[in-house]
Structure 1
Amino acid sequence: MTTRQRGWRVPAALVALSAIPLLAGTARLVELAGGPALIPADTRFAASPLPVVVHIVCAAVYALLGALQFAPGFRRRRPGWHRAAGRVLVVAGLGVTLSALWLTLFFPPQPDSGPLLFVLRVVFGSAMIASLGLGVAAIRRGDVATHRAWMTRAYAIALAAGTQAFTEGIGGAVLGHSPLALDASRGAAWVINLAVAEWAIRRHPVMGAASGTGRRPSVAVVVGERP
Structure 2
Amino acid sequence: MTSHPLSPPRTRATWRGRLVPAGLIALSLVPVVAGASRVSQLALGGPVTAANARFYESPVPVIVHIVGSTVFLLLGALQFAPELRRRAWHRRSGRLVAPAGLLSALSAAWMTLFYDLPSTVTGPGLSALRLVLAAAMAGGIVVAFLAIRRGDVRTHRAWMMRAYAIGLGAGTQVLTFLPWTLLVGAPTPMGHTLLMAAGWGINLIVAEIVIRRSPGPRATRSGRPSAPSAPPLS
Number of residues paired by the alignment?
214
Letter of the 1:52 counterpart:
V
Identity level (%): 48
Cα distance between partner residues in 2 of 1:209 and 1:118: 43
> What do residues 101-123 of structure 1 show as CA deviations (whole Å, max 9, x unaligned)?
11100000244222321011001
Q: 2:162–2:207: 8 Å Cα contact kept in structure 1?
A: yes
**Which residue does the alignment assign to 2:105?**
97
> In structure 2, what is the Cα distance between the partners aligned to 1:178 and 1:139?
43
**In the alignment, which residue of structure 1 is the partner of 2:232?**
none
SS of the residue corresponding to residue 133 of structure 2 reads: helix
In the alignment, which residue of structure 2 is the partner of 1:220?
A: none
Deviates more, 1:190-199 or 1:40-49: 40-49
Q: Do 2:165 and 2:207's aligned partners in 1 also have CA atoms closer than 8 Å?
A: yes
Q: Distance in 2 between matches of 1:192 and 1:23?
A: 22
Preserved contact between residue 171 and residue 182 of structure 1 (Cα < 8 Å): no
1:210: how far off? 9.2
Distance across 2 between alignment mates of 1:116 and 1:67: 30
Does the alignment pair 1:123 with 2:132? yes
The Cα shift of 1:132 comes to: 0.7
What's the TM-score, normalizing by structure 2?
Answer: 0.83
Structure 1 114/41 Cα, relative in aligned 2: closer, same or farther at 3 Å?
A: closer
Counterpart of 2:72 (choices 50, 62, 76) is 62
Residue type at the aligned position of 2:176: T
Q: Give the 4+ runs in structure 1 shifted more than 6 A.
A: none
**Which residue does the alignment assign to 1:206?**
216
Please report the RMSD computed on the Cα atoms of aligned residues, expressed in angstroms: 2.4
2:21–2:77 Cα contact (<8 Å) kept: yes
| Contact in 2 for aligned 1:59/1:92 (Cα 8 Å) | yes
Runs of 5+ unmatched residues, structure 2: 1-7, 228-234
Question: Following the alignment from structure 1 to structure 2, what is the Cα–Cα distance between the partners of residues 104 and 200?
Answer: 30
8 Å CA contact retained: 1:157, 1:190: yes
Instruction: Give 1:1-227 correspondences, 5 Å limit.
Output: 2-3=11-12, 4-34=14-44, 42-76=52-86, 78=87, 80-112=88-120, 113-172=122-181, 173=183, 177-208=187-218, 213-214=223-224
Q: Look up the equivalent residue of 2:91 and give its one-letter code.
A: R
Taking structure 1 as the reference length, the TM-score comes to 0.86
CA distance, structure 2, for counterparts of residue 211 and residue 181 of structure 1: 53
Flag structure 1 segments of 5+ consecutive residues without an equivalent: 218-227
Say if 2:123 and 2:189, in contact at 8 Å, map to a contact too. yes
- Return the alpha-carbon distance in structure 2 between the equivalents of residues 34 and 64 of structure 1: 25
Partner of 2:3: none
Structure index of larger Rg: 2
- Separation in 1 of the partners of 2:91 and 2:125? 38
Report how far residue 202 of structure 1 moved.
1.3
